[in-house]
């Protein structure tokens, strides 16, 4: 099952594509893939985006660009901006702290969809991006049927999961890293991410990417120990009346 985008667009600067816009879920933020842009270009871009897509729900991407773009759109549409999360974008080329071999690292199967539904719902609650039970069910089904979700099993019990997403020729992103509360502070998430990252490198990707909540120093430290290095900052901003 391939998720069809709801909105796609590009912005050019001197005939070169400077920004790519992508929205895959209704009422959810638009992904903004970009390099740096000058102030005048951002102001003009906000006007154009507001014209072709009134009532943009939110933006996520390069911190400086997204912040200014959201501010300009907010003025045009008489809205307020709310920063939901500031993220660090990390890249890994080599796993330094490998999975210690405890337990079994494996792909999640369809029999585990009900459990993963619960974990997705809990994950979204914890990161202040609440979802519905129906959306959690759909996400779980998509992750598992598309063979994107992996987990660490200890003594026959699943204790941590991580997913792969957005593959390109040389890079793939690791996301939805989740460990239920009763299994935390045991090193399971670290081992799970290390194992998945190594698997992706073994499959031929040159790098893996991971987004973290900069307000959570513990997880940032864990990822750095695995071998992830921060290369940029991202911001998630919602636009509301």
232's enclosing H/E stretch is strand 229-240
pLDDT digits (tens, 9 = 90+) for 127-168: 888 889 999 999 999 999 999 999 999 999 999 999 999 999
pLDDT at 13: 76
87 in a domain, yes or no?
no
Evaluate whether residue 63 is within a structural domain: yes
What is residue 138's predicted lDDT score, i.e. its pLDDT? 94
**Residues 44 and 141 placed together within one structural domain of the fold:** no
Choosing from 53, 78, 103, the residue where a domain stops is 78
Whether residue 107 is found in the same domain as residue 69: no
Copy the structure tokens of residue 190: 């670290």
Per-residue model confidence (pLDDT) at position 3: 53
CA-based nearest residue to 88, from 240, 217, 225, 241: 217
Question: 127: domain CATH number?
Answer: 3.40.630.30
What is the reported pLDDT for 1?
36
Domain count, the chain: 2
In angstroms, how far is the first alpha carbon of the chain from the final one?
35
Low-confidence residues of the chain: pLDDT under 50: 1-2
- Residue 83 inside a domain? The answer is no
Same domain, 190 and 227: yes
| 111 in any annotated domain | yes
Looking at residue 76, its pLDDT comes to 95
- Give the span between the Cα atoms of 121 and 98, in whole angstroms: 29
Give me the domain span that covers residue 42.
7-78
Same domain? For 132 and 60 the reply is: no
Strands 157-165 and 171-178, by their bridges, are antiparallel
pLDDT at 18: 82
């Amino acid at each position: 099952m391939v998720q069809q985008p709801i909105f796609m667009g590009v912005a050019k600067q001197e005939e070169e594509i400077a920004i790519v816009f992508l929205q895959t879920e209704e009422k959810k933020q638009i992904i903004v893939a970009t390099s740096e842009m000058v102030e005048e270009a951002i102001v003009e871009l906000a006007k154009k985006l507001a014209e072709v897509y009134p009532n943009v729900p939110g933006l996520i991407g390069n911190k400086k660009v997204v912040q200014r773009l959201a501010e300009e759109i907010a003025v045009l549409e008489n809205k307020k901006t709310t920063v939901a999360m500031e993220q660090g974008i990390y890249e890994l080329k080599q796993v330094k702290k490998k999975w210690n071999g405890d337990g079994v690292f494996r792909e999640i199967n369809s029999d585990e969809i009900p459990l993963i539904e619960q974990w997705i719902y809990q994950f979204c609650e914890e990161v202040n991006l609440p979802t519905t039970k129906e959306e959690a069910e759909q996400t779980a089904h998509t992750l598992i049927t598309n063979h994107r979700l992996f987990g660490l099993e200890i003594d026959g019990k699943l204790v941590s999961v991580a997913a792969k997403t957005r593959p390109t020729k040389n890079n793939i992103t690791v996301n939805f890293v989740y460990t239920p509360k009763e299994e935390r502070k045991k090193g399971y998430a670290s081992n799970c991410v290390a194992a998945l990252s190594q698997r992706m490198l073994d499959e031929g990707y040159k790098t893996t990417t991971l987004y973290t909540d900069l307000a959570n120093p513990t997880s940032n430290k864990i990822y750095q120990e695995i071998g992830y290095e921060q290369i940029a900052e991202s911001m998630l901003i919602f636009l509301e009346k």
